[in-house]
Each structure stands twice: as C-alpha cells, then as structure tokens.
Amino acid sequence: MKILICLDYSSFTEKILAVTKELVTQFKSTGITVLHIVDETLFFSTTGFEVQLGEILNGESKEIKGLCEKYLGEGVKFVEEYGIPKLVADDMLAEIDHDLLLVGSHGRHGLAGRIMGGFAEHILSITKKPVIFIP
C-alpha cells in the first residue's frame, strides 16, 4: 500500500504523524510519501519581511521533515513544493502514486476552516482515492 500524507506545520502535525505511525504498523508493506506545500500566498501579504518569512518557512519545512523521520522512519519520502496549496495539491495528487491519502482536518487557517479545514475540504472534492481525515 502506498500512502500519501498532505501535511502543513501546525499544532496538529505531530498528531497526524502519530496516527499514521499506528496505521502503517497494521499494513505489511507500506510506502509513505509526505507532501508539504509551502504556501507562497503568505509572501503576498508581507511588506519587507520576505527574507525572514522565507527563513521561517524553511525552518518549518526542516522541522516537518525531521518529525516525519522520527515518526515514520528514514525511508519516508518527503516532497516539498511551493505554490498555492490547492493548486499544487491538484497537480501532486495526480502525479504521486498512492492508494490512500491522509490529511489533517485542520491546519493553520482560523475561522474559515473550523469544521473542516478549507484545504481538507478541497482535497475531498478532487480526490478519486480513499481519504482518511485526522482531526
């Protein structure tokens, strides 16, 4: 089984990885790819702090990769992409071979995605594969 995890850096990151670790122990053969999309729209709202923001986002990406290796082992494939998350996700879901998709139901977006995050809702509307949402 090939599992694709869409992951951002939020308070739910470690929970998603812990649940994934529990799930993969149930499968005999699992290939895991983690997709992290750096949201380039964050750069449009800043004025003069682009370098600092880039450093913060790079740090978060390294932190996510480290957490992935901690929870899922050195064999996890980590894919980092830049762009508008919903648009990049459309392309990457078509490109990355997977049988199951894991997505956190909440991310870093406040009130707009309280019930189910806007990204998670978008994924549900476009995917043709089974999805597990981790609250």
Q: Give me the count of residues in the chain.
A: 135
Q: Give the dihedral sign, CA 66/68/72/77.
A: negative
Q: Express each pLDDT in 32-90 by its tens digit.
A: 999 999 888 777 765 667 778 888 888 999 999 999 999 999 889 999 999 888 899 99
Burial class for 4, CB neighbours closer than 10 Å (0-12, 13-18, 19+): buried
User: Rounded CA gap, 65 and 78, in Å?
Assistant: 7
pTM of the model: 0.76
Q: Which of the four CATH numbers 3.40.1350.10, 3.20.20.80, 3.40.50.1370, 3.40.50.620 does domain 2-134 have?
A: 3.40.50.620
Q: Express each pLDDT in 9-20 by its tens digit.
A: 888 899 889 988
